[in-house]
Amino acid sequence: MAHIYDQAYFNGQLIAFGDANLSIASSAVLYGLSVYTVFHVAHTASGLQGFRLPQHFKRLQDSAKIIGIELPAADWSYKDFVTAAKELMAANAIKKDVLVRASIHVDALLPGTKSRGLSTLLTIFVYDAEPIVPTTGVRLKTSLWRRIPDTAIPSRAKVNGAYVNSVLARQDAIDSGYDDCIFLDSQGHVCELSAANIFMVRDGLLYTPDTHSDLLEGINRLSIMQIARDMGIPVVERSIDLTELYVADEVFMSGSSAFLSPVIEIDARQVRNSLGPITKRLRTVYQQTLRGEHADYKEWLTTLKEN
């Protein structure tokens, strides 16, 4: 279990993490009516660097809009978001890489099953950047549970309540001796993992499921696709069948909490290259990017504290 830092941002102020609580009668607790995003902050020689904060702020806004909940305030801005993150970094005296989870919760009490016109609040807390899977090689099992379709709960929104789907699927994988699961959509195509996107390499091309496959349009996913194109690696977004993963040259996963981790086994079938050349190249540049060590992607970072 990752260490959670002592100070949290709650409804416009910094308070002790243990005091940052929502009522058991709130919509967030009763119905999972919250949206969130998680971003990486690297502790570097030049200070604390947050990864792609504008995109994470927009994802929070978009997720709230999709499911029809209000923002914390009518004039809530990106500047306010960054200020809160900076205050949180300082209050917790961060001196290592961390992950930051920002959420918008509906805190109205017993409102029934509705979303409009209800009060919301913003929470942000910090925890150590420990990966959710083995970064040396991940073993995957195809889930018995299908990915919730966008027509049921929107895939493009990070809705807390929707993650029951991920819990069911990943727990089944863990119970079966694997690290994580592969979700298929209602048509049997590959979607994503429990909390990460998936890529495969075949014949020098990088493939990933397209956005019609009931997946989250991950910020790390988009970043890796951009890095690959800049490196001259062709990127193809399309429907992917499960058996294509079985015969892929390389497979890897990406996400804020999964980083870029190679997949070594799928459904008791060994992936041809446990850490293939394309995965290795992409992971090297991705890691450099997170730490501000790659000149081409320094604009993706926001300084949250200078050394």
pLDDT of residue 242: 98
Residue bearing tokens 């949290």: 8
Residue bearing tokens 């209800």: 118
- Are residues 263 and 220 part of one domain? yes
- Are residues 146 and 91 part of one domain? no
- Are residues 244 and 191 part of one domain? yes
pLDDT of residue 45: 92
Q: By the 8 A CB rule, do 86 and 9 touch? A: no
- Are residues 197 and 102 part of one domain? no
pLDDT of residue 1: 78
Residue 158's CATH number: 3.20.10.10
The structure tokens listed for 236 are 């193809």
Q: Does residue 230 lie within any of the structural domains?
A: yes
Q: Does residue 212 lie within any of the structural domains?
A: yes
The structure tokens listed for 228 are 């690959």
Residues of the chain with pLDDT under 50: none
Question: Residue 259's closest CA among 103, 135, 141?
Answer: 135
pLDDT of residue 204: 96
Q: By the 8 A CB rule, do 216 and 192 touch? A: yes
Task: Give the helix/strand (H/E) hosting 277.
Answer: helix 277-290
Q: By the 8 A CB rule, do 276 and 250 touch? A: yes
* Calpha distance 304→307 (Å, rounded): 10
* Calpha distance 303→48 (Å, rounded): 6
* Calpha distance 51→155 (Å, rounded): 22
Number of domains, the chain: 2
> What is the pTM (predicted TM-score) of this model?
0.96
The structure tokens listed for 167 are 């819990």
Residue 74's CATH number: 3.30.470.10
Collapsing DSSP to helix, strand or coil, 253 comes out as strand
Question: Residue 125's closest CA among 155, 156, 95, 94?
Answer: 94
- Are residues 233 and 280 part of one domain? yes
* Calpha distance 3→205 (Å, rounded): 39
Question: Residue 135's closest CA among 279, 300, 38?
Answer: 279
Q: By the 8 A CB rule, do 105 and 64 touch? A: no
Residues 6+ apart with CB under 8 A from 251: 198, 199, 200, 201, 245, 262, 263, 266, 271
pLDDT of residue 255: 97
- Are residues 230 and 252 part of one domain? yes
pLDDT of residue 199: 98
- Pairing relationship of beta strands 197-202 and 250-255 according to DSSP bridges: antiparallel
Q: Which domain holds residue 39?
A: 7-128
pLDDT of residue 275: 92
- Are residues 235 and 171 part of one domain? yes
50-84 residue pLDDT tens:
999 999 999 999 999 999 999 998 889 999 999 99
Question: Residue 163's closest CA among 135, 134, 195?
Answer: 195
* Calpha distance 119→55 (Å, rounded): 24
- Are residues 277 and 148 part of one domain? yes
90-136 residue pLDDT tens:
999 999 999 999 999 999 999 999 999 999 999 999 999 999 999 99
- Are residues 187 and 45 part of one domain? no
* Calpha distance 249→105 (Å, rounded): 42
- Are residues 170 and 29 part of one domain? no
